[in-house]
Chains A and B, each alone.
Chain A
Amino acid sequence: MEPHPPGAEAPDDASLAPPPTVPAVVAVVVARDPGPWFEEALSAVAGQDYPNLSILVIDAHSAGEVKRRVSAAAPGAFVRRLDEDPGFGAAANEVLEVVDGAAFYLFCHDDVAPAPDAVRVMVEEAYRSNAAVVGPKLVAWDDPRRLLQVGQGMDHAGYGVPVVERGELDQSQHDAVRDVFTVPGPCMLVRTDLFGEVGGFDEGISDFLDDVSLCWRAQIAGARVIVAPDARVRHQDSLAQRFGYDARRRLQARHRLRIVLSCYRPIGVMRAVVQTLVLNVAEVLYGLVAGRRKRVGDVVFAWTWNLRRVSQLHAARRQVQSFRRARDREVRSSMSKGSARLNQLLRGQLGGGDDRFTGLARSGRDVAGVLRSGTLRASATVWAVVAIVYLAGSRHLLTRGVPAVGEMVGLGSSPLDLIRSYTSGWRTAGLGAEAPAPTAFGLLGVLGVASASAMGVLRTVLTVGMLPLGALFAYRLPGPTGSRWAQIACLLTYISIPLPYNALANGRWGALVLYAVAPLIVGMLARASRVAPFGSDTGGDDEPLEQRARRGWTGNVLALGLTTALVATILPVAVPVLVVMALGLSLGGILALNTRGTVRMIGTALGAAVLAIGLHLPWSLDFFAPGTTLSALTGASRSAQPSDLAALLRFEVGPLGSAPIGWSVLVAAVLPLLIGRGERHTWAVRAWALALVSFGAAWAAQRGTLPVALPPVEVLLVPAAIGLALAAAMGVRAFQVDLPGYRFGWRQIASGLAAAAVVVGLIPVLGASFDGRWSLPAGDHARALAFIDTENDELPFRVLWLGDPAALPLGGWELEPGLAYGTTDAGAPRPENLWVGSDDGPTGLLGEAVDLARRGQTARLGRLLAPMGVRYVVVPERLAPAPFTSAPLPVPGALSATLAAQLDLEPIDAFEGLTVFRNQAFLPVRAGLPASADVPTDGGVAAALGLDLSSTPAVLPDEDGHLRWSGPVDDGTTVLLSAAHSDGWELEVDGEQIELAEPFGWSTGFEVADGGEASLGFRTPSSRYAIVGLQALAWLVVVRILVRRQLNPPGPGEKRT
């Protein structure tokens, strides 16, 4: 029976034909404003020698007259016009509504012309091979000798692996019938029962990769997908031309991600997400290196587009599960090994190719061609060397992990813990406080989830990865000069500065992050100034100047504010540092007698700072709360070992930077001051002024001459690093532009010296890379203190850390310059112990207790610390204990003597460089005091001096979740929680809520008269969740605006709304 499309208009000459003896095939041609080739294509379909072929043309709301053209070219075809263009897949799915009784559908674009025997060959092969989807050999429209596609493979992340090189000469070399993962989408034969079972094309995919989706789902349904190369189909490939190259790439990216997210089973999708994320990160980095922002935008767009359609994805996944017969493992077995995209990236990075159809041969040709270009060859060589040095220098950190020293605390094992800490209204640092959590908890938690809980890998990326990221942004910074040599100089100078390696060796995570992003920030400030070459007379490397200018103040503020906010997540003081950087650059403008752009730059910085503060609300309010010291923002940072100015000028704040090579960076950066003219000179002076402001701040911090707490010296020196690198870049540009205007003389010699200085400056970095860990200790205090957790088993306790801020593996509060204290719950520090906020409130009692002992007011420090749950006092006097490092970071001698003279602190044998005391008066964090215990309700820290509570047992041993414990409590027990008093704590005994008390005048307690099964927990106020939601929304809005601006720049004269 011939299928009859009931909803379609019948052809004029429809006639009763004799019943065919072959399966019915309906050719479904989706026409969308077809070009002049349409008639030829339709004729080819109509001219098939297959005896039982009907043609249904779906007119997807074409503007032009389609029906008439169909009638002329294929008089027997049915035409169905749609009211809108839903995309190819959805349009083709109309066949399910209007056709009944067919055995196969032949889906065709409106620009394919099958050879006369093509349908017959495919149908025959479908039966012969028992295949449900059969594809033809796709050849070029105008030159059928050239192959376009003969099916393709697929990697696990959804990237195609072409069987043939596009444009390859057809010499019958691919004419064997074979299984493929996908057949050519422009023309494919699909068995109707399968098509119906899988629900047709995925209507969430409007165009591009709908064929991939269909083939993938067909295989999930257990069907076979083959290509029959004897069936030849010419293809015009008009779809890509109609959409444009950028749109095609973007649509492919988003549809590829949708396919991956919808086709795998849950475990498979997690694995695929990780792989895709890794690839996407690489792709983003590549895009940034290559200056292809649109590619970066594609990646971002793909994720945002899909994440906005989570419910659709769920529906699609449910549908796939409904017909699944093949497991993921079986489907994956038919996929290609490795990563097709990575191969393309590697080729495309050098070859400039950006097309997934680019073949290896062409890539090779491109590479050769590109490398014949001198500057690109130099860039490629430099980057290759930089990559090798970074990989070699970081090899042990990459393979063995980053030790938890300094600020580089471990991220824990579960990202959900971080997210819970973020959403909770309770901060656990110190004695706890009801205060907003740092944004970092949430961000790191989300990143942890995105990395499939690979927290170690995430931590490595976020620490060691800052080195190449900084190099990358440094390379990009002088891009607007139009000189790749300037970019190379900036890169080499920036990476030759010892600062990041010293920061890494000193465990300064915040400084590393700032180092990575500082070039980006300086670039944004420079663009905000609109001073040439960043604004007026030359475009950037990939973004037209006019476009950037149109971005305007708002765009700059948003971009800079978001960037600063991201840095401030790790390093809160980044916000004022941003303003200082703007002021430094502006000061340079004044010195250079060129103040153009100063107001814009400072205004942008201030706006960005306000935005960054806003994005961190309500956490940022913590820094402005009454009683908050400045060190809460900057960190208790001043080390006991100051550097002199000369050492600071060489960035010698760690193992690297010693004279005389350490001076080379300064030598290299001097050149533009000597020979530069015009904008080169102006920006060189700006860069130098930035550097000097930075050096000055670091010097003041080291000398303690300023009455305010300043950040770690490594942080303060970051602007100097990027300032000198920018100056060096301007030196190269001046060498190229200005030097030819001078007669031969000292300037040429100075140029040579500067160049030599850049090269010489790299030598220490090369040397530092030999140890494979950039002088970072191989172990950490947490490893040495592992016995603490073992010793205590389930006993809840705190550890009080005392030492030089540079030696503490956590954030601390300053007792005096060079001495700080901090706490951890149990042994190893966690992120919650890094951003600790203010110690105003009960937490400050810890410092008070230590101060009392230091002033000789007590020899019972243990008793003072007992109500605070402190069981151990740990004094690190190195970044890591022996044998991992030997560099001393001593505490004041009086502190050691004080602790040793306490009658209730028992020294424990520990590694050299680490002194540990066990508090013999210890009281568990959750203790059950007998009702007879006379616990004072006021008196501050001294109230505990006369109490010996050392035999008090722990209670509520079972952890039921974040900040929630349970267990039996006896009659007449006072449950004492060593945490700051808060109404948020609730204790229920056998379902009855117990009244809250305030032991010691600061702690949390509950007097339980009748014992029973008790549950203690912190009740997070609902307003906290609302605030968290608002904060997340604010970030998303800013990101969305920036992405939209990036992806959809306004046209000339168009005004943003």
Chain B
Amino acid sequence: MRSSRLTSFVLLAGAVTGGLVLEAAEDPVTTPGATGVEAGVAIPAATPPGTLSSTWYCAGGTATEGGFADHELLLANPTAEDRTATVTVLTGDIAPSPSPPEEGIVGETTTTVAEPTTTTAPVVTTTTTIPPPIEPLVVDIPAHSRTEVALREIVDAPLAGAIVEVDGGEVAVEHQVTGDGLGRATAPCSTTAAREWTFPWGVTARGARELLVFMNPFPDDATIDIALATDEGTRQVLRLQNLVVRARSVVGINLAEDTRRDQVSAQILVGSGRLVVDRIQTFDGTIPPYEGMTLGLGAPTPAETWTFPDGQIDEGVTEQVVVYNPSEAVAEVEVEVRLDEPDVNGVPEPFELTIPPQQFSLVDLSEVDAGLAEGEPKRIPNGVAHSLIVRSLNGVPVTAERIVTSSAPSAELGVSATLGSPVAAPTWLLPGGGVSAEREEYLTLFNASPDDTARFGVSALIDGESVALDGLQDLEIPPGGRRSIRLSDHSDAEELPLVVEADGPVVVERGLYRIGGRGISQSMGIPLAVDVIVPEPVEG
């Protein structure tokens, strides 16, 4: 009996103890990544094959005669099946200007450097009534083709955005705005509506207009607060607090009416509801080197790594990187400039940035070598193409935007602002673009793999067929390298929606350049949400 008692006691106690020890010995639960970067959310992405439907939100643009940003949709269907899209146009207006500015600053109520002041602001309704609903337009997108929809032909409104609902996947949607004398800017539409958006860059100085276009595609009103970060700290403008964006409408806010700064980062926090926010930045040429216009989404999600495949500085060509830290912690960030042919051009030291919460940091690649004596090797040599990689070193996610200006003596004139890509994928779609005597198009690919060579091919959707472009098949990109292609060397199609397919994760950027006039538009391609990866912030 004594032995049986001991045996049973040991067994029972052992079972309990064993369980406790087993549990204690297990690895602690790992917390999920801080950012949760996801294709389709952090960056617009085409839905995979077999998808029931896909929805795109194109917020910014005008839809009236003589509008400064004539809004046009570009829908590309790279599949072998016809698709149908339902385009629902939402209209709105630009919010009225605030009271006349005093002492040169318009409407500012508080100014802080480190900590933003919380103010109780009255609710500002941007429109008194919800715009009447507009009958949706059903458009066909034949297989291997592109369909263009000019919103001005559907509605007449100061501002018009569109919801594009496609009856399947793999379709990509871009939109472009064209301004009289400002050129044309093309960018992907959004595949998400988010509760937070950041725009690292923005200029509200005289001669510039930074128009944020808020599109609320949902049946409930949304409220937003906009915080502006300048070189003097965070500014909260009364007009931009508790702003109501009515259901199924768009509204534009011209930040230049509230503050005048050479660099403004904007952070939009959506209190209730969800929004899509585009930025239309225009310059009338009074503040060199800026001239022309840009179009682009904000960043709905910060990330630890942003990749910019293309870059170059030269005479008349400037390049800046603005990194914004939307979080509550200090971000330690590194900006790596990866020059072509590093054996020849060298490997420049990365730029290291310390960015306080809700603040930005700007790296002007054109100015970093300004103090060098003549003959000394430049850190970023002129005329050497490069890629940029912005990475957070301490895990605090940031948003990063690259600004390129081109003015005399450069042949191209204009300005472009492009958010980097937080992801890499094997397949990218580029609905817009085309080459002609007046327009040049470049395609730049970056191999996100530090170890493997990427092989890729480019095909175009021409006349209902997918055409493999000559000379653009089975090309290679070295690990971590880049490759730039001038498309006019391979095609002369004025409408040139492209599909880039690689055997590994790459990042694809497109540049559109007007010849003989203003107009530079650079933007990331649209990845197909298949085999998407999020690059590690620190190279293995």
One digit per residue, 1 when the CB lies within 8 angstroms of any chain B CB and 0 when it does not, for chain A 850-861 equals: 001000111110
Residue of A676, A695, A907 with highest tally of chain B CB at under 10 A: A907
B99 at the interface (CB under 8 A from A): no
Cα–Cα distance between A644 and B22 once the two chains are bound (Å): 11
B20 touches A646 (CB 8 A): yes
B218 at the interface (CB under 8 A from A): yes
B4 contacts which chain A residues (CB < 8 A)?
A: 592-594, 681
B9 at the interface (CB under 8 A from A): yes
A592 contacts which chain B residues (CB < 8 A)?
A: 4, 8
B53 touches A906 (CB 8 A): no
A692 touches B53 (CB 8 A): no
Contact of B51 among A591, A685, A857 (CB under 8 A): A857
B12 touches A689 (CB 8 A): yes
B23 at the interface (CB under 8 A from A): yes
A649 at the interface (CB under 8 A from B): yes
Contact of B9 among A674, A699, A856, A945 (CB under 8 A): A674
B167 at the interface (CB under 8 A from A): yes
B165 at the interface (CB under 8 A from A): yes
A627 at the interface (CB under 8 A from B): no
A906 contacts which chain B residues (CB < 8 A)?
A: 218-220, 247
A676 touches B12 (CB 8 A): no
Cα–Cα distance between A451 and B320 once the two chains are bound (Å): 80
Task: List CB contacts (< 8 Å) of A668-683 with chain B.
Answer: 673-674, 676-678, 681
A to B contact number (C-beta, < 8 Å): 88
Cα–Cα distance between A644 and B26 once the two chains are bound (Å): 12
Contact of A673 among B5, B40, B163 (CB under 8 A): B5
B15 contacts which chain A residues (CB < 8 A)?
A: 692, 696
In this complex, how many residues of chain A approach chain B with their Cβ under 8 Å: the count is: 39
Task: List CB contacts (< 8 Å) of B198-243 with chain A.
Answer: 217-220
A688 at the interface (CB under 8 A from B): yes
B192 contacts which chain A residues (CB < 8 A)?
A: 901
A117 at the interface (CB under 8 A from B): no
B55 touches A859 (CB 8 A): yes
A649 touches B16 (CB 8 A): yes
Cα–Cα distance between A906 and B219 once the two chains are bound (Å): 5
B279 at the interface (CB under 8 A from A): no
Smallest CB separation, B431 vs chain A (Å): 19
A946 touches B7 (CB 8 A): no
Cα–Cα distance between A674 and B9 once the two chains are bound (Å): 8
A902 contacts which chain B residues (CB < 8 A)?
A: 218
A688 contacts which chain B residues (CB < 8 A)?
A: 8, 12
A644 contacts which chain B residues (CB < 8 A)?
A: 23
Cα–Cα distance between A68 and B216 once the two chains are bound (Å): 110
B273 at the interface (CB under 8 A from A): yes
B53 touches A696 (CB 8 A): no
A645 at the interface (CB under 8 A from B): yes
Q: A699-B19, A860-B53, A945-B52 are in contact. Are A591 and B40 (CB under 8 A)?
A: no
Q: Nearest B residue to A648 by beta-carbon distance? A: B19
Q: Nearest B residue to A693 by beta-carbon distance? A: B15
B19 touches A942 (CB 8 A): no
B11 contacts which chain A residues (CB < 8 A)?
A: 591
Q: Nearest B residue to A642 by beta-carbon distance? A: B29
B53 touches A901 (CB 8 A): no
Cα–Cα distance between A698 and B20 once the two chains are bound (Å): 14
A685 touches B8 (CB 8 A): yes
A622 at the interface (CB under 8 A from B): no
One digit per residue, 1 when the CB lies within 8 angstroms of any chain B CB and 0 when it does not, for chain A 681-710 equals: 100010011001001100100000000000
One digit per residue, 1 when the CB lies within 8 angstroms of any chain B CB and 0 when it does not, for chain A 831-868 equals: 00000000000000000000010001111100000000
Q: A856-B40, A860-B53 are in contact. Are A903 and B12 (CB under 8 A)?
A: no
Cα–Cα distance between A451 and B163 once the two chains are bound (Å): 58
Cα–Cα distance between A695 and B20 once the two chains are bound (Å): 12
Contact of A593 among B7, B20, B55 (CB under 8 A): B7
A677 touches B1 (CB 8 A): yes
Smallest CB separation, A909 vs chain B (Å): 9
Q: Nearest B residue to A676 by beta-carbon distance? A: B5
A1004 at the interface (CB under 8 A from B): no
Q: Nearest B residue to A672 by beta-carbon distance? A: B5
B47 at the interface (CB under 8 A from A): yes
B193 at the interface (CB under 8 A from A): yes
A182 at the interface (CB under 8 A from B): no
Q: A676-B5, A859-B55, A860-B165 are in contact. Are A645 and B19 (CB under 8 A)?
A: yes
Smallest CB separation, A93 vs chain B (Å): 70
Smallest CB separation, B137 vs chain A (Å): 14
B20 contacts which chain A residues (CB < 8 A)?
A: 645-646
B219 touches A901 (CB 8 A): no
B274 at the interface (CB under 8 A from A): yes
B12 touches A696 (CB 8 A): no
B247 contacts which chain A residues (CB < 8 A)?
A: 906
Q: Nearest B residue to A857 by beta-carbon distance? A: B52
B218 touches A903 (CB 8 A): yes
Q: Nearest B residue to A685 by beta-carbon distance? A: B8
A681 contacts which chain B residues (CB < 8 A)?
A: 1, 4-5, 8
A852 touches B52 (CB 8 A): yes
One digit per residue, 1 when the CB lies within 8 angstroms of any chain A CB and 0 when it does not, for chain B 245-277 equals: 001000000000000000000000000111000
Contact of B8 among A591, A646, A857 (CB under 8 A): A591
Q: A592-B8, A644-B23, A907-B272 are in contact. Are A857 and B53 (CB under 8 A)?
A: yes
Q: A676-B5, A856-B40, A858-B53 are in contact. Are A696 and B19 (CB under 8 A)?
A: yes
Smallest CB separation, A672 vs chain B (Å): 10
Smallest CB separation, B62 vs chain A (Å): 23
Q: Nearest A residue to B5 by beta-carbon distance? A: A681
B40 contacts which chain A residues (CB < 8 A)?
A: 856
B220 contacts which chain A residues (CB < 8 A)?
A: 906-907
One digit per residue, 1 when the CB lies within 8 angstroms of any chain A CB and 0 when it does not, for chain B 359-370 equals: 000000000000
Contact of A942 among B7, B16, B52 (CB under 8 A): B52
A1047 contacts which chain B residues (CB < 8 A)?
A: none
Q: Nearest B residue to A918 by beta-carbon distance? A: B219
Smallest CB separation, A649 vs chain B (Å): 7
Q: Nearest B residue to A906 by beta-carbon distance? A: B219
A920 touches B47 (CB 8 A): no
Cα–Cα distance between A907 and B11 once the two chains are bound (Å): 56
Q: Nearest A residue to B21 by beta-carbon distance? A: A645
Smallest CB separation, B126 vs chain A (Å): 19
Contact of A946 among B16, B167, B273 (CB under 8 A): B167
B273 touches A673 (CB 8 A): no
B193 contacts which chain A residues (CB < 8 A)?
A: 900-901
A858 contacts which chain B residues (CB < 8 A)?
A: 52-53, 55
A677 contacts which chain B residues (CB < 8 A)?
A: 1, 5
A170 at the interface (CB under 8 A from B): no
Q: Nearest B residue to A678 by beta-carbon distance? A: B1
A903 contacts which chain B residues (CB < 8 A)?
A: 55, 163, 165, 217-219
B1 contacts which chain A residues (CB < 8 A)?
A: 677-678, 681
A904 at the interface (CB under 8 A from B): yes
B219 contacts which chain A residues (CB < 8 A)?
A: 903-906, 920
Smallest CB separation, A646 vs chain B (Å): 6
Q: Nearest A residue to B218 by beta-carbon distance? A: A903
Cα–Cα distance between A345 and B12 once the two chains are bound (Å): 45
Cα–Cα distance between A904 and B53 once the two chains are bound (Å): 15
Smallest CB separation, A670 vs chain B (Å): 9
A901 touches B274 (CB 8 A): yes
A852 contacts which chain B residues (CB < 8 A)?
A: 52
One digit per residue, 1 when the CB lies within 8 angstroms of any chain B CB and 0 when it does not, for chain A 867-901 equals: 00000000000000000000000000000000011
Smallest CB separation, B433 vs chain A (Å): 26
For the complex with contacts A593-B7, A692-B12, 15 further pairs of A-B residues with Cβ separation under 8 Å are A591-B8, A644-B23, A645-B19, A646-B23, A677-B1, A681-B1, A689-B12, A692-B15, A692-B16, A699-B19, A857-B52, A900-B218, A901-B192, A903-B163, A945-B52
Q: Can you list 5 contacts pairing A with B, beta carbon distance less than 8 Å? A: A592-B8, A644-B23, A674-B9, A689-B12, A856-B51
Chain A residues within 8 Å of B, Cβ to Cβ:
591-594, 644-646, 649, 673-674, 676-678, 681, 685, 688-689, 692, 695-696, 699, 852, 856-860, 900-907, 920, 942, 945-946
* 5 A-B pairs closest in CB distance: A906-B219, A857-B52, A859-B55, A593-B4, A591-B8
